[in-house]
Amino acid sequence: MTAFRTLARTLAITSLGLATFMGTATAAQAETLRVGMSGGYYPFTFVDHDKLQGFEVDVMNAIGKQTGDDIKFVTASFSGLAGMLDSGRIDTIANQITITPERQAKYAFSEPYVYDGAQVVVRKGNDSIHGVEDLKGKTVIMNLGSNYETLLKELPYADEINLKTYESNIEQDVALGRADAFVMDRTSASQVIKDKPLPLQLAGQPFSKIENALPFRNDDAGRAQRDRVNKALDTLRDNGELKAISEKWFNSDITEAPQSEGSEKTGSDS
Amino acid sequence: MQALNLDYMVGLVPVLLGYLPLTLGMAAAGMVCALILSCLLAVIRVSRLPGLNQAAKLFISFFRGTPLLVQLFLFYYGLPQFLSFLVSINGVTATIMGLTLHFSAYMAESIRAAITGIDRSQTEAAQSIGMTQFQTMRRIILPQATRVATPTLMNYFIDMIKSTSLAFTLGVTELMGATQKEAASSFLYFEAFLVVALIYWVIVEALSWCQKRLEKRLNRAYQR
């Protein structure tokens, strides 16, 4: 019965492999901050030829240098990140998470480190949409689980917008003309339009100011991590490192709170 | 009309191939575990063991009746809320377990069909020369059923390889997850997804070749 023997051997090898996988999972180090991100949100977190990089990566590494923690990045599709945080598989999410009342009730947020604005983006040449007020009767798409869904649902004419949420690739569907517009943060949208080959354009001004921060689990351990990160953020703000990282990726400082209500400063989020 | 960015595609191949061992490893581990579990289930169903038979029916009904993605989310994100030790299970292990449970439900049915397809007279003949039920199963029925079930089981294995693409939702960057991230940063969707499609296709073609050889071998006794 050579077939059975081969099977047995394969099984032995497999269970060995399984044991190794599980071994790495349980060997938790005390000083490791596990940071979840999608790896698919240019230029905040993205992967180019297997190299994870972006604004969020630089910020988290700078924070790690201040706190002395090992930063371990975990990438997962955006819709899986909250589940990973809740179930204790990661300690925070660095993916331009906007502070909202609902999220604030559930998580312990760090202080904001990005100030941005929600932005409507349309296909290049589409001059019928000049901003959020023109979205009536249009098909508008956004990332699943993002805060923009809530923002649009709060509009008085929300039920007249054909709102759809996607797992990924919203930019492509608007570029293809399958949807009229997508909504995401101003900073990221501008950068995509500038750097990437998709025929897209901004439609009007950002329509909502947003503040993005790092969510931690709202328990003793989570709040302790949050406090350590806050201290590190203060230092990075004071020594200009945060600003330098922002200018590296955006040629502007998006980490500073707008001075006044009428300020030009815009923001973004996911 | 843009031209295809061939340089980008060629550059992407070695990057994506790096994820092949993980994808194939998860599928292979899932397949081995699913084979064992599904044989058990099939034998329970065929021999109608009281109690166990009902349990097997319920198991098959649930895992065939719900999508794999739902099962993965239930298991990975849902259950740890109640059973905290499940948090220590990582995405790779959870994917393998999900594939095992999901596909063994299907495979059990196809193995059951293969077993019941063997003529009853063979069981009677085996028992007339004094074989026990277990011996009959192991030495007469299962070897023949293996031959009948091989093509459908291979189909499930192929399906399983492709189903590993769901692991990215559990934070496991496998072949498809890696492709999604590359596409999301280059915005060269067609190029990236074409490369990954070709890679999957080549794997499955290679498997089909193995299947042909395996079937030939299993059919040796039947050639005239």
Can you tell me whether residue A177 is helix, strand or coil?
coil
Residues in chain B: 224
A76 to B170: CB separation less than 8 angstroms, yes or no: yes
Question: Which residues of chain B does A50 touch, with a Cβ-Cβ cutoff of 8 Å?
Answer: 15, 18, 178
Task: Indicate whether A131 and A160 sit together in one domain.
Answer: yes
Q: Is B89 on the interface with A (CB under 8 A)?
A: yes
What SS3 state is found at B107? helix
In angstroms, the separation between the Cα of residue A254 and the nearest Cα of chain B is 21
Using alpha carbons, select from A119, A77, A86, A113 the residue that is nearest to residue A98.
Answer: A113
- List pLDDT tens digits, range B115-152: 999 988 999 999 999 999 889 988 999 889 999 999 99
Same domain, A73 and A198: no
Is A16 among the domain residues?
no
In chain A, what residues touch B90 (CB-CB under 8 Å)?
Answer: 21-22, 24-25, 89
Yes or no, beta carbons of A25 and B93 under 8 Å apart: yes
* Same-domain status, A109 and A221: yes
Judged against a pLDDT cut of 80, whether residue A194 lies above it is answered with yes
| Domain stop point among A209, A229, A259 | A209
Query: Is the minimum CB–CB distance between B32 and chain A shorter than 8 Å?
Result: yes
Q: To 10 degrees, what angle do helices B20-47 and B175-186 make?
A: 140
φ and ψ of A185, to 5 deg: -75, 150
Together in a domain, A58 and A96: yes
- Crossing angle for the helix pair B6-17 and B189-218, to the nearest 10 degrees: 50
Longest CA–CA span in chain B (Å) reads 75
User: Is residue A85 domain-shared with residue A121, that is, in the same domain?
Assistant: no
A56 pLDDT more than 80 = yes
Q: Is residue A236 part of a domain?
A: yes
List the Cα angle A71/A118/A127 in 5-degree steps: 135
Residue A65 counted as domain residue: yes
Who's near B214: CB < 8 A, 6+ residues apart? B150
d(CA A149, CA A165): 8
Mean local confidence (pLDDT), A49-73 = 96
Helices (DSSP H) in chain A: which residue ranges? 2-26, 55-67, 78-86, 101-106, 147-153, 170-175, 186-195, 220-238, 241-250
β-pairing verdict for A92-93 and A32-37: parallel
Q: Are residues A71 and A39 in the same domain?
A: yes
Instruction: Write out the two tokens for A215.
Output: 């969510």
Whether residue B173 and residue A75 make contact (CB cut-off 8 A), yes or no, is yes
Residue whose pair of structure tokens reads 């959020």 in the numeric block: A132
Q: Are B141 and B115 in contact (CB under 8 A)?
A: yes
What CATH number did the domain enclosing A129 receive?
3.40.190.10
User: Which member of B15, B35, B187 has the closest CB to residue A198?
Assistant: B187
Please state, in angstroms and rounded to a whole number, the distance separating the CA atoms of residues B55 and B61: 10
* Secondary-structure class of domain B19-172 per CATH: mainly alpha
Total domains in the fold of chain A: 2
Q: What token pair was written down for B102?
A: 């999901």
Q: How far is A80 from chain B (nearest CA, A)?
A: 5
**Is A173 a member of any domain?**
yes
In chain B, domain spans: 19-172
Taking Cα atoms as reference points, which of A151, A66, A115 lies closest to residue A250? A115
User: Which residue among B87, B96, B189 sits closest to A87, beta carbon to beta carbon?
Assistant: B87
Of A18, A47, A88, the CB nearest to B93: A18
The complex's ipTM?
Answer: 0.75
Chain A CB contacts of B166 below 8 Å: none
Clarify whether residues A92 and A66 are in a common domain. Answer: yes
pLDDT band of A201, cuts 50, 70, 90: very high
Instruction: Identify the band that residue A167 occupies on the pLDDT scale cut at 50, 70 and 90.
Output: confident
Give the domain range for residue A130: 116-209
Residue of B nearest to A83 (CA): B77
